[in-house]
Amino acid sequence: MKKTLHHIGLSIVALICLIPFLWMLSASFMTAGETGQFPPRFWPEQFTIEHYRTLFDRLNLSRYFLNSVLISGAATLISLLVNSMAGYAFAKLRFKGKEGLFKVLMAALVIPGQVTMLPVFLMLKEMGLINTYWAILIPGMASIFGIFLIRQYALSIPDSLIEAARMDGATDFQVYWKVILPLCKPILITLAIFTFMGTWNDFLWPLIVLNDQEMYTLPIALANLMGEHVQDTELMMAGSVMTVLPIIILFIVLQKYYIQGIMMGGVKE
Amino acid sequence: MSAIRSSTHWGSVFLFLGPALGAIGVFFFIPVIAAFFMSFTDFDIYSLGNWDFARFVGFANYQKLMENPVFWQALKNTFYFVLVGGPLSIAVSLMAAMMLNSPLTKLRSMFRVVYFLPVVTTLVAVAVIWRYIYHPKFGLLNYGLSFLDISPVDWLGDPFWAMPSLIIMAVWKNFGYNMIIFIAGLQNIPKDLYESAMLEGANPWQQFRYITLPMLAPTTVFITLMTIIGYFQFFAEPYVMTQGGPLNETLSIVLYMYQEGFRWWNMGFSAAIAFVLFIIIFIATAIQLRLQKEGSH
């Protein structure tokens, strides 16, 4: 009895989480205007894919989709390389001022990123990078959180492994490339998902630095669509499906790594 | 002494840390300092073409801010969001974590994925859906409430309901994240504490009050801190749902900063707004840490 009640409770919360998504999916297949009815319909009267057609044929969705994939993919690769090198250095290299430097980075987490937006924008403008993908990739290439994740994980790698490699004549870079990186694979996957999803979902910064429609990522294109086609609810729903579906699939496949990352971030040193 | 115990060659340190620290320095630390100086200038759309047009104006931007009713409105709204939305979202996260962590729970990982889905999905898409859920005529929420004989509410258009509506959406979207951290905290509590409490006849509420809450304290402090910092930066929800309306009732500090800076290009003024936010977050963090220290003594 208690067990049944418990699971009814769990299921109600699950439904609250799911219903908006299920309804989005269902509405995206409804004919135009069907959502504008009372009482609301939960299932399309006539199943249609016309809105997906419109998105791809008339509204250039495949271009935005490609933009999102390319930017998120590139941002992920850069972030993996840059943050793993720094994380390794903070975990395993020995040099003066290491602890102090790391503390400064941690303290900087309190500064809201919005403070930096105006000067970064001006800086990129001076460099002529506004309205290019570099304006997204370069400022985001290193992240304090990413360095922290890698460092925490690399700390658990025994020094003896590194020493053994050193005995065989490995340089610092070879140690990093051949010993550390392979051992850090789980946390690298975690960082990759975080970066990919973060870039995919990012809204404010791309909105500021990208001006040409051709260059839009999916969320910007969707927000733009929201302004122009505010009446076409079913079309908007189809656009939303195309924006969230890749990310949901990615999450479900790799959720183990994602959740591990949150737990590591939440555990104090 | 083996090679690893001696200090590393500076060339290596530079190679490994250079790219990351260089990027963080150029795109984070220098801009923070630059924004600080900018907040004392009248940097605007004319200065954008030629920086020479910007003049030093002392505290004029801050003074203008203090005299500006829109700023106080934005400040009030942001505190509303932080003080109501923050605790609410933490409470929901904790409840969900305890439900999932219960030994009774079957299909735990399936429920966990479902609870987490709103966290990973794109906010703009979520906004499209929720604008419709909140639709005054055809929305699912008013339809559901009609069964309880509650007459339709214009959730996003009513100055009183707009902010609660955004808070509910934000809690729905975010609770899964802190839930995961709470689960990690709950799993660290030794099981025998509960067993001995049960032997002594403690009821579930007493177990929660005298075991779960105290043992979770470090996790809760961490989550509260991160939630407060994050919620002070409230921006995307009002941007996509209400544009700060109706009557500026959902205008947040960051949205105000964005509008002044990137819509009207009053960048000096906007930088002052950013710094006021920074100071508020800084004070809030300091208070939190102080409370935590006092609590642990």
- Residues B89-116 have pLDDT tens digits of 999 999 999 999 988 889 988 999 999 9
pLDDT value of position B165 = 96
Look at residue B260 and tell me if it is in a domain.
yes
Domain assignment present for residue B19? The answer is: no
Q: What's the pLDDT score for residue A110?
A: 76
In contact, A269 and A152? CB cutoff 8 Å: yes
Q: Do A24 and B125 touch (CB under 8 A)?
A: yes
Contact B66, B272 (CB under 8 A): no
pLDDT at A247 over 80: yes
| pLDDT at residue A135 is higher than 80 | yes
Q: What is the reported pLDDT for B52?
A: 81
> Which among B79-88, B206-215, B222-231 has the top mean pLDDT?
B79-88
User: Which 3 state secondary structure label does DSSP give B56?
Assistant: strand
B27 to A139: CB separation less than 8 angstroms, yes or no = yes
- The more confident residue out of B53 and B256 is B256
Q: What are the pLDDT digits (tens) for A169-205?
A: 888 899 999 999 999 998 999 899 999 999 999 988 9
Angle, helices A185-201 vs A218-228, to 10°: value is 20
* Cβ-based neighbours of B277, under 8 Å, separated by 6 or more: A112, A114, A115, B232, B233, B253, B254, B257
CA separation for the pair A50, A29 (Å, rounded): 8
Question: Of A184, A175, A227, A35, nearest to B240 (Cα)?
Answer: A227
Q: Which helix (H) or strand (E) holds B183?
A: helix B162-187
- Pair A251, A201: CB distance under 8 Å: no
Percent of chain B with pLDDT over 90: 61
Q: Angle, nearest 10°, between helix axes A114-126 and B30-38?
A: 100
The residue of B8, B13, B16, B44 whose CB has the most chain A CBs within 10 angstroms, and thus the best one to mutate to test that interface, is B16
Nearest to B138 among A38, A226, A240 (CB): A38
Q: In degrees rounded to 5, what are phi and psi of residue B40?
A: -105, 15
Could B261 and A118 be called an inter-chain contact, meaning their C-beta atoms sit closer than 8 Å?
A: yes
Q: Which domains are seen in chain A, by residue range?
A: 1-48 (no CATH), 49-266 (1.10.3720.10)
Greater pLDDT, B21 or A264: B21
> In a 10 Å sphere around its CB, with 0-12 CB exposed, 13-18 middle and 19+ buried, how is residue A229 labelled?
middle
The answer to whether residue A268 scores a pLDDT higher than 60 is no
HSE value, Cβ hemisphere, 13 Å, CA-based, for A92: 29
A166/B contact by beta carbon, under 8 A = yes
Any domain includes B31: no
- Which range of residues forms the domain containing residue B268? 59-296
Q: How many CB atoms lie within 10 A of CB B178?
A: 27
A212-229 per-position pLDDT tens digit: 999 999 999 988 888 777
Nearest alpha carbon to residue B163 among B255, B92, B99: B255
Nearest one of B231, B113, B83 to B179, comparing CA atoms: B113
By CB neighbour count within 10 A (0-12 exposed, 13-18 middle, 19+ buried), where does B50 fall? exposed
Structural domain includes residue B292: yes
Does any domain span residue B41?
Answer: no
In a domain, B76, yes or no: yes
Please report whether residue B125 resides in a domain: yes
B240 falls in which pLDDT band (50, 70, 90)? Answer: confident
ipTM metric: 0.88
Query: What pTM was computed for the model?
Result: 0.90
**Domain containing B256 — which CATH number?**
1.10.3720.10
Q: Say how many domains are in chain B.
A: 1
pLDDT over 90 (residue A35): no
Q: Give the amino acid at A187.
A: I
B 99-118 near A (Cβ less than 8 A):
99-100, 102, 104-106, 111-118
Residue B21 falls within a domain, yes or no?
no
Residues of chain A positioned with their CB less than 8 A from the CB of B82: none
pLDDT value at residue A172: 87
| pLDDT single digits (tens) B119-132 | 999 998 998 899 88
A182, with CB counted inside 10 A (0-12, 13-18, 19+), is: exposed
Q: How is residue B117 written in tokens?
A: 């889905």
* pLDDT confidence of residue B1: 38
